[in-house]
Amino acid sequence: MTTDRFPAPGHIYEARFGAMAFRLQFDADGRTMRFVPADAPNFTGAQAVTYQATAIRPGVFMVTWKEADGTTVTHVEDFEHGEVRTNITQPDLTFLNLAGTWSRVG
Residues 6+ apart with CB under 8 A from 99: 17, 83, 84, 85, 86
* pTM for this entry: 0.92
**For the residues of 18-64, what is the DSSP string, one character each?**
TTEEEEEEE-TTSSEEEEEETTSSSSTTPEEEEEEEEEEETTEEEEE
| Number of other residues whose CB lies within 10 A of the CB of residue 53 | 20
CATH architecture of 12-104: Beta Barrel (2.40)
The domain limits of the chain are: 12-104
Spatial CA neighbour of 55 closest among 103, 8, 106, 98: 8
User: How much is the pLDDT for 3?
Assistant: 58
Q: Pick left, alpha or beta for residue 3 (phi over 0 → left; psi -120 to 50 → alpha; otherwise beta).
A: beta
User: How much is the pLDDT for 95?
Assistant: 97
Q: What is the pLDDT along the chain (106 residues), one digit of tens a residue?
A: 445 799 999 999 999 999 999 999 999 999 999 999 999 999 998 999 999 999 999 999 999 999 999 999 999 999 999 999 999 999 999 999 999 999 999 9
